[in-house]
Structures are given as C-alpha cells and as structure tokens.
Amino acid sequence: MERTLAQTATHLGLTRPQLIARMREKGLLKGNLPADLKRDGEYLRIKDSPWYDEKYGMQYSQSTRVKQSGIRWLAEQLDIDLPALPANRRDVA
C-alpha cells in the first residue's frame, strides 16, 4: 500500500505543508519529489501521472508516494513518535 504525502501527514499527525517542510529540512525532498531515490527508494517513490489536454497535448506530472515500509522510517527520520500498533485480536487463543 502506498500513501500520498497528504495521507502520510494525517497518519503522522501533521498537515501536508508541515510534513513537506520537515522532509525538506532533513534533505528527504527536493521540491516535492524525493531528493535521493538511490538512498530512499525502499521507502519513497515517484508516481508519474500523464494525461491528455485538448489544447496542449500530453501533459505529465509527478508526485511522491510513501510506501508502507516508509511510514515508520519517515517517523524515525522526522523524530515523530508513532502510536504503538494495536494488538491483533485474532492472536488471542
């Protein structure tokens, strides 16, 4: 599962602008895209979104996605305490 920066921010108890600012401060983002995918590719990725515009032809945009493994990693990078994972009720005998 992947999350947008807005979804990730909500999960971490931040707003999207706060998350982006903190990620830029730590050198994790350049603009709104990952600064170093060789280093952080296990946790972040770039999503390409092409679409066709009648006037301008093919248009392209890119956005950052946070992989499932990136949530806890990002919290550690930004010094955010995540709540403990809830116990799985199915584990009870």
Against a cut of 0.85, is the pTM above it? no
- Residue 89 DSSP label: G
> Using 50, 70 and 90 to split pLDDT, how confident is the model at 11?
very high
Residue 2 sits at the vertex; the CA angle it makes with 82 and 9, to the nearest 5 degrees, is 40
CA distances to 21, 30, 42, 87 from 37, in Å: 18, 11, 8, 33
82 pLDDT more than 70: yes
Q: Tell me how crowded residue 43 is: count the other CB atoms within 10 A of its CB.
A: 19
Domain boundaries, given as residue ranges, for the chain: 2-83
pLDDT digits (tens, 9 = 90+) for 41-50: 999 999 999 9
Q: What is the mean pLDDT of residues 3-12?
A: 96
Beta strands in 1-93 (DSSP E): 2-4, 29-30, 33-34, 44-53, 57-67
